[in-house]
Structure 1
Amino acid sequence: MTDTLTPVLTDNWDAERAWTLASYEERGGYAALDKAFAMAPDDVIAAVKESGLRGRGGAGFPTGMKWGFIPQDNPKPKYLVVNADESEPGTCKDIPLMMASPHTLVEGVIVSSYAIRANTAFIYVRGEVLHVIRRLQRAVQEAYLAGHLGKNIHGSGYDLDLIVHAGAGAYICGEETALLEGLEGRRGQPRLRPPFPAVAGLYASPTVINNVESIASVPSIIVNGPAWFAGMGTEKSNGFGIFSLSGHVANPGQYEAPLGITLRELIDLAGGMREGHELKFWTPGGSSTPLLTPEHLDVPLDFEAVGAAGSMLGTRALQLFDETTCVVRAVLRWTEFYKHESCGKCTPCREGTWWLTQTLARLEKGQGSEADLDLLLDQCDNILGRSFCALGDGATSPISSSIQYFRDEYLAHLTHGGCPFDPAASTTFPSLSDTAAGATA
């Protein structure tokens, strides 16, 4: 079973002091630079296109195609911005990668910046992860001292400056245009598009914004060739990815495997569910993706198959919950997060997430009536596709999918006058008669 793992980005995580330049170079680190510099920038872009690398930040947009959108006839400077604002509940792959092997990302930044002809790059990191920021800053310093960054890198004539920028701690800055606002020193709120960042991004200049894992995957593609990368994964979802397993599994952690592996295989690799318990529901790509159930255990974890199953692969943040978990309570906690993190710019998200939380909180306490489920779905419908960015859409996903698969559990809260999973529900929450009387009134 372990043959299904493909350690590439995680291959050196077990090395002694893997985060240092010496350790990274000992395993062939920065070999991609000279190979890339021997190629024309357009050829590097073509290689990434040929590899089939798709964005690893959630949307799955082809990386090489995004790079190709940069108008090279634009006289303004070009910028590369790495989105390292990983902050969605359950998502935990970029932070471990930057902590264990920051030079993997730095090397990817250099090659990617060369490809799009950028001479300045930024890594925008979530401000709360100070330990990661410090490790990245030291890695960048080491790269400068070794001649991997700065002027005339490796005698190629190419110059690049790399800045590590700490965000102020806002989930909304994971949205690429809100990230640019934050990077420019303004309040993190999404921009109206068009114009798109490729045309007018950072400082109104052509900008490429990619996820950490996307950029970190580039050096291995240059060193091993696009055919090597395309040979893994599925027909339309090429390559490997880091799958983060958390929750009620025996051995949670990061598992790097080809796209198309199933959750059943990953659970086996992780030692199974915790002893004596069974899987009840799970998220394939973090809390903003629709829930799935045990009937989806054998769905290939690639962009197409997960989409066909009614969810999204997203960031491959696999949160696993067993039968002891109340789905209503879990969804309420997620919705409270999205309400708190809404930037407030648009009405559907600002007001909608507040009302979603109010309705869910009443249901979780066993208050209200079955009609509130239809009210929830109506609220979701009025947010979905009507928000300024994807935060509002993501807030609706666990709600609508949980009602689809666990409607009976919502109704059980009304029947029991509270959460049926809480032994103290009968004394903590209103009785069924009180609830019915309140609903009648």
Structure 2
Amino acid sequence: MATTLTPILTKFWDAPQSWTLDTYVDNEGYKALDKALAMKPEDLVAMTKDSGLRGRGGAGFPTGMKWSFLPPPDGGPRYLVVNADESEPGTCKDIPLMMAAPHFLIEGVAITSYAIGCHHAFIYLRGETVHVYRRLLRAVEEAYAAGHLGKNIHGSGFDLEVTVHAGAGAYICGEETALLDSLEGRRGQPRLKPPFPAVAGLYARPTVVNNVESIASVPPIVLHGQDWFGDMGTEKSKGFGIFSLSGHVTRPGQYEAPLGITLRELLDMAGGIRSGHRLKFWTPGGSSTPIFTDEHLDVPLDFESVAAAGSMLGTRALQIFDETVSVVRAVSRWIEFYAHESCGKCTPCREGTFWLKQILVRLEHGKGTQEDIDKLVDICDNILGRSFCALGDGATSPVTSAVQYFREEFETGMHTPWWEAFPPERSVLFDASTAKETASV
């Protein structure tokens, strides 16, 4: 386990105008690109594989291995697509990274594109985040003007065009094949696999789809070496990651640390649970992962340990809830989101999330029955493993884990509304006097 933070991607977030090219260059910016362009593409792929970098978008698939799945060059185009459609409740690491230090991503795009033989890369961004879109566009303009993108990059003979695309705002477009359909101008819905994107992705050409943080982690690896990266983290979950703490914690925010750190250690750095309260439940990887309780405070936050404890590391979105929060209410709000964002392509997800929502609303309002609780679990069993993509599976995770750890609260929903059992004013982050002062300013 680790006891200290490792500011790498977050190193200069607090610098004045941290998002500019000048600030990035002052912090070793684009030196990794020079080094990469002097290497053979296959050596870059091997370095990434040997570093142990795993996808930072949630699934944790080895990044270098994904690159190596591309078929041999056939003379046609191949593409890199960056999945920047960060949309899941509680997940908030990629957007702050693109706001504070977008050139990490752009340099990573250039290096990755060179490694896989791509000459046109796409960054697919969630359209509602207009401020991030503008900042990313400006960073790309700076990179073009400085010769880090475009024709004959750094005199190497390598050409790369980068397109920043704003999506229309659909959680399902975070699924890589739905993202590709959306990027091609069609309705965002998951594709049948195989073929996988590595064989037939964007415009039916070989395509690599990676998360923002995965690509942004490439320049430090190239610059400092695979052994440097491998010295952080655990044996099978190497390197560092951004852990997003939100909710009932004294100092919420982004904490960049080696994989394998525990929530207890992160809470110590964040000032603990808000004064006078105790931890009740939390999500280790966002709202689509099974919830944990205070008994999991010392579970190492790496892919294997979290899975062994019954959840998923996911996007490291640590939503912290104290004893004032109704589990039934929290889970119901998440399921409302998943029911709304279901693309409707497959029956288990489309119908299952709808019925989960109806039952949870009854339990919220104290009008549930014992049969409702059993039916929740039964519906989840019929969604899990049967939906077309991971949205349906993810929607079942908070429900089944909440019933497992807090069944008595669901039984309370048979006779008592959530707002009577857990008065909402107790869980607010600011007291009434502070709210009045803020409103008067």
The offset of 1:255, in angstroms, is 0.1
Matches within 5 A, 1:366-405: 366-405=366-405
Residue in structure 1 matched with residue 252 of structure 2 by the alignment: 252
Contact 1:108–1:217, Cα closer than 8 Å, also in 2: yes
The offset of 1:421, in angstroms, is 2.2
Residue in structure 2 matched with residue 223 of structure 1 by the alignment: 223
What letter corresponds to residue 246 of structure 1 in structure 2?
S
User: Is the counterpart of residue 360 in structure 1 residue 372 in structure 2?
Assistant: no
Distance in structure 1 (CA, Å) of the matches to 2:408 and 2:304: 29
The offset of 1:418, in angstroms, is 5.3
Residue 414 of structure 1 aligns to a residue in which SS? coil
Distance in structure 1 (CA, Å) of the matches to 2:45 and 2:417: 59
Residue in structure 2 matched with residue 193 of structure 1 by the alignment: 193
Residue in structure 2 matched with residue 52 of structure 1 by the alignment: 52
Residue in structure 2 matched with residue 73 of structure 1 by the alignment: 73
User: Is the counterpart of residue 207 in structure 1 residue 207 in structure 2?
Assistant: yes
Contact 1:366–1:419, Cα closer than 8 Å, also in 2: no
Deviation track 1:28-87 (CA, whole Å, cap 9, x = no partner) reads 100011100111000000000010000000000000000000112333211000000001
Contact 1:236–1:304, Cα closer than 8 Å, also in 2: yes
What letter corresponds to residue 259 of structure 2 in structure 1?
L
Residue in structure 1 matched with residue 173 of structure 2 by the alignment: 173
Matches within 5 A, 1:90-105: 90-105=90-105
The offset of 1:365, in angstroms, is 1.2
Distance in structure 2 (CA, Å) of the matches to 1:51 and 1:232: 10
Deviation track 1:66-111 (CA, whole Å, cap 9, x = no partner) reads 0000112333211000000001000000000000000110000000
TM score, norm. by length of structure 1: 0.95
Identical amino acids, percent of aligned pairs: 73
Contact 1:412–1:420, Cα closer than 8 Å, also in 2: no
Contact 2:3–2:265, Cα closer than 8 Å, also in 1: no
Distance in structure 1 (CA, Å) of the matches to 2:339 and 2:149: 41
Residue in structure 2 matched with residue 115 of structure 1 by the alignment: 115
Residue in structure 1 matched with residue 416 of structure 2 by the alignment: 416
Distance in structure 1 (CA, Å) of the matches to 2:417 and 2:131: 45
Residue in structure 2 matched with residue 314 of structure 1 by the alignment: 314
CA separation of 1:417/1:226 partners in 2, compared to 1, >3 Å: closer, same or farther? closer
What letter corresponds to residue 376 of structure 1 in structure 2?
L
Distance in structure 2 (CA, Å) of the matches to 1:31 and 1:281: 43
User: Is the counterpart of residue 263 in structure 1 residue 257 in structure 2?
Assistant: no
Residue in structure 1 matched with residue 19 of structure 2 by the alignment: 19
TM score, norm. by length of structure 2: 0.95
Contact 1:413–1:419, Cα closer than 8 Å, also in 2: no
The offset of 1:422, in angstroms, is 4.3
Contact 1:2–1:269, Cα closer than 8 Å, also in 2: no
Distance in structure 1 (CA, Å) of the matches to 2:227 and 2:417: 59
Matches within 5 A, 1:153-164: 153-164=153-164
Residue in structure 2 matched with residue 33 of structure 1 by the alignment: 33
CA separation of 1:420/1:183 partners in 2, compared to 1, >3 Å: closer, same or farther? same
Residue in structure 2 matched with residue 439 of structure 1 by the alignment: none
Contact 2:173–2:188, Cα closer than 8 Å, also in 1: yes
Residue in structure 1 matched with residue 5 of structure 2 by the alignment: 5
Contact 1:324–1:421, Cα closer than 8 Å, also in 2: no
Distance in structure 2 (CA, Å) of the matches to 1:80 and 1:157: 19
CA separation of 1:101/1:423 partners in 2, compared to 1, >3 Å: closer, same or farther? closer
Q: Over aligned residues, Cα RMSD in angstroms? A: 1.3
Deviation track 1:162-192 (CA, whole Å, cap 9, x = no partner) reads 0000000000000000000010000000000
Distance in structure 1 (CA, Å) of the matches to 2:159 and 2:42: 17
Distance in structure 2 (CA, Å) of the matches to 1:82 and 1:230: 24
Contact 2:147–2:153, Cα closer than 8 Å, also in 1: yes
Residue 12 of structure 2 aligns to a residue in which SS? coil
The offset of 1:423, in angstroms, is 5.3
Distance in structure 1 (CA, Å) of the matches to 2:159 and 2:199: 22
Deviation track 1:330-366 (CA, whole Å, cap 9, x = no partner) reads 0000000000000111111111100000011111111
Deviation track 1:201-247 (CA, whole Å, cap 9, x = no partner) reads 00000000000000000000000000000110001000000000000
Residue in structure 2 matched with residue 274 of structure 1 by the alignment: 274
What letter corresponds to residue 125 of structure 1 in structure 2?
L
What letter corresponds to residue 120 of structure 1 in structure 2?
H
Distance in structure 2 (CA, Å) of the matches to 1:374 and 1:413: 13
The offset of 1:3, in angstroms, is 5.8
Distance in structure 2 (CA, Å) of the matches to 1:423 and 1:30: 52
- Between 360-369 and 385-394, report the one with greater CA deviation: 360-369
- How many residues end up aligned between the 2 structures? 424
What letter corresponds to residue 55 of structure 2 in structure 1?
G
What letter corresponds to residue 205 of structure 1 in structure 2?
R
Residue in structure 2 matched with residue 429 of structure 1 by the alignment: none
The offset of 1:373, in angstroms, is 1.0
User: Is the counterpart of residue 336 in structure 1 residue 342 in structure 2?
Assistant: no
Contact 1:20–1:139, Cα closer than 8 Å, also in 2: yes
Residue 4 of structure 1 aligns to a residue in which SS? coil
What letter corresponds to residue 400 of structure 1 in structure 2?
T
Residue in structure 1 matched with residue 136 of structure 2 by the alignment: 136
Contact 1:76–1:206, Cα closer than 8 Å, also in 2: no
Residue 292 of structure 2 aligns to a residue in which SS? coil
User: Is the counterpart of residue 290 in structure 1 residue 297 in structure 2?
Assistant: no
The offset of 1:133, in angstroms, is 0.4
What letter corresponds to residue 163 of structure 1 in structure 2?
T
What letter corresponds to residue 297 of structure 1 in structure 2?
L
Distance in structure 1 (CA, Å) of the matches to 2:281 and 2:335: 17
Residue 90 of structure 1 aligns to a residue in which SS? coil
Distance in structure 2 (CA, Å) of the matches to 1:149 and 1:422: 54
Contact 2:6–2:256, Cα closer than 8 Å, also in 1: yes
What letter corresponds to residue 222 of structure 2 in structure 1?
I
Residue in structure 2 matched with residue 407 of structure 1 by the alignment: 407
Contact 1:80–1:122, Cα closer than 8 Å, also in 2: yes
